[in-house]
Copies of this chain bind each other. A is one copy, B any other.
Amino acid sequence: MNFSSDNSYGVADEIMAAVVAANRGAAVSYGGDDWSMRVSARFADLFEHEVEVFLVPTGTAANALSVATLTPAHGAVLCHAEGHIHLEECGACEFYALGARLVPVEGFAGRMTVPGLKAALARYPGIRHDLVPSALSLTQSTECGTVYPIDEIAALAGLAHENGLGVHMDGARFANAAAALGCAPADITWRAGIDILSFGATKNGAIAAEAVIVFDRTRGRDLFHRRKRGGLLVSKTRFLAAQLEAYLVDDLWLRLASRANAMAARLAAGLASLPAVRLPWPVEANEVFPVLPRALAVKLRESGAVFHDWTATGLAGTGHAPSPDECLVRLVTSFRTEAGDIDAFIAAARGLAERT
């Protein structure tokens, strides 16, 4: 009953096999290898668009490089107040963007809204003494386990472009969103106005493999140098590229994400049946955020369940905030989560809740 993180579950067998298979003979290093070439071509096919592809070992790196290429140091980067780049990356974006500022935008369930973005932009009326809003960063699927529909992305990106901002998507869980929407990857990226994407694979079964996908080359510049300068250019690139190649072959990425999503839906359904538990946000990807009685959370952990407490800041003033006796927790499902584990967790919760 481990729901602590997508990162806890190891690596999909197909991906590990590809890494092992890549260990044959000599290969050019620093991106000149055949695996890297093939992966770039696959991404172009997948997105139905010319792309530049920069492989890196972490999602934080992918985000920070992407954001940095969209903003000058005196720029303001608008992101969701609960965005990963804002809350959990130790200022990597500010570091790579050489001192630019992240400006949190409010919104419910991890999703920014057009009025929220308009209000944030209005705080920068173009006075020359002030920072210049230069980039918008959206997360898909969001940090609250929700998914932006296509038209919302297009509306936000359109507003950003009208105001001269470049648009980045943090796709650490892009696969979960794509699987949930069942749309073409292009539909929620460049066709909706995304200029640059952090395409994640690590949370969904890779060892350590993320790709920065540049759709608009006029915006995403200097990435080769920025990646090297950040110490993010691995030497034996074949092993990084091999992970992503296996991830894309035969839609493995979507199959893994669909499994994780299905497990989250099963978990959400089970939780919804418990009177003491409520789900403030819709469950649309592979994360479930129940508000539980604190006593129940303690007992669940005692019975072996593993999960993290979560900040309820985003629930303040929404009518969903935990009472003093309650807490918000995060339950993550993965490509390897078993239905039996879900059912055992729900059964335990039901039993414990009744006795509480």
Give the A interface residue count (CB, 8 A).
75
Q: A56-B231, A57-B234, A58-B231 are in contact. Are A91 and B27 (CB under 8 A)?
A: no
Chain A interface helix/strand/loop/mixed? loop
- A11's closest neighbor in chain B, by CB? B23
Q: Are A224 and B128 in contact (CB under 8 A)?
A: yes
Q: How far is the CA of A311 from the CA of B124 in the complex (A)?
A: 11
Q: Are A7 and B92 in contact (CB under 8 A)?
A: no
Residues facing B in A226-247 (CB within 8 A) are 226, 228-236, 239-240
Q: A24-B10, A92-B228, A99-B91 are in contact. Are A202 and B130 (CB under 8 A)?
A: no
Residue A355, interface by CB 8 Å: no
Q: A8-B29, A95-B99 are in contact. Are A208 and B228 (CB under 8 A)?
A: no
Residue A73, interface by CB 8 Å: yes
Residue A60, interface by CB 8 Å: yes
A78-119, CB under 8 A of B: which get 1 and which 0? 000000000111111011101111100000000000000000
Residues facing B in A1-46 (CB within 8 A) are 2, 4-5, 7-11, 16, 19-20, 22-30
Residue A194, interface by CB 8 Å: no
A95 to chain B: closest CB distance in Å?
5
- Tallying the copies of this chain within the complex gives 4
| Residue in B62, B63, B202 whose CB lies within 8 Å of A236 | B202
| Residue in B28, B230, B236 whose CB lies within 8 Å of A231 | B230
A304 to chain B: closest CB distance in Å?
12
Q: Are B208 and A92 in contact (CB under 8 A)?
A: no
Q: How far is the CA of A64 from the CA of B231 in the complex (A)?
A: 8
Q: A74-B226, A225-B132 are in contact. Are A92 and B231 (CB under 8 A)?
A: yes
Q: Are B8 and A230 in contact (CB under 8 A)?
A: no
25 contacts between A and B (CB under 8 A): A4-B26, A5-B29, A7-B30, A8-B29, A10-B23, A10-B27, A16-B19, A16-B20, A19-B207, A20-B20, A26-B306, A73-B229, A87-B130, A88-B130, A90-B225, A91-B131, A92-B230, A94-B101, A95-B229, A96-B231, A98-B99, A128-B224, A131-B225, A208-B239, A208-B240
